[in-house]
Chain A
């Protein structure tokens, strides 16, 4: 199972919006709504930010939103804040009953 494709890095200034893409195949992202996004600041464990494409767990700010079209999912962070600087990973359930992650995207808040 190949990793999902994410851009290595994105950046934005405070208050701006950024979008991180996550491209898979018809065997994962394209066939299932079990797409999640995780935030991982340096030296910490990942934190679930979005589940089932567009749902936010309790406590996650509504500045974080998710969507999907075909084989590509996206995470949008609006109103960027310094605390959003972290690595972000997408994941998807697959047709083999496994989980595949994206390669990760480093978000820099300028």
Chain B
């Protein structure tokens, strides 16, 4: 059974940093691209970033480019996102999600975690 468990969310001041983690199980982690998607309170979904299975290719939404860094440790089956220079508008539930097709970045997301809440406020 595929499981994705996010952690690391919390309250952070504007300008601060936070690192989210997503522990994966139930599939061959290194074979699949992964993404982070966020959802501000009461708002819609926004794709944040994606990474290839090897970790060699990364992709970002314009809204986070230069501030967020996605990475993965395939030996630990874990996905990360380092978030710097956080702003109030980064407040959201952050989901990690698995790409549905192996060895390709299709950005079709077939499994999602339950999310972790990040609140940026002074």
Residues of chain A having any CB pair with chain B under 8 Å: 1, 3, 34, 36, 38, 40, 45-48, 51-52, 57, 89, 91, 93, 97-104
Chain B interface residue bracket vs A: 20 to 34
Contact B110 A34 (CB under 8 A): no
Q: Give the interface SS of chain A, mostly helix, strand, loop or mixed.
A: strand
Contact with B107, one of A40, A46, A47, A99 (Cβ below 8 angstroms): A99
Chain A nearest CB: distance from B96 CB in Å?
Answer: 10
12 A-B contacts (beta carbon < 8 Å): A38-B109, A40-B45, A45-B95, A46-B109, A48-B108, A51-B100, A52-B108, A91-B47, A98-B59, A100-B47, A101-B44, A104-B44
Inter-chain contacts of A34 with B (CB < 8 A)? 106-108
List the A residue with the shortest CB-CB distance to B44.
A104
A46-B45, A102-B44 known; A57+B110 contact, CB < 8 A: yes
Closest 10 CB pairs of A and B: A99-B47, A99-B107, A45-B112, A104-B44, A101-B45, A51-B108, A48-B110, A93-B107, A103-B44, A36-B108
List the B residue with the shortest CB-CB distance to A47.
B112
Contact with A89, one of B45, B60, B95, B115 (Cβ below 8 angstroms): B45
Inter-chain contacts of B112 with A (CB < 8 A)? 45-47
Inter-chain contacts of A47 with B (CB < 8 A)? 112
Quick check: is B55 within 8 A (CB to CB) of the other chain? no
Interface residues of B in 97-122 (CB under 8 A from A): 100, 105-110, 112-115
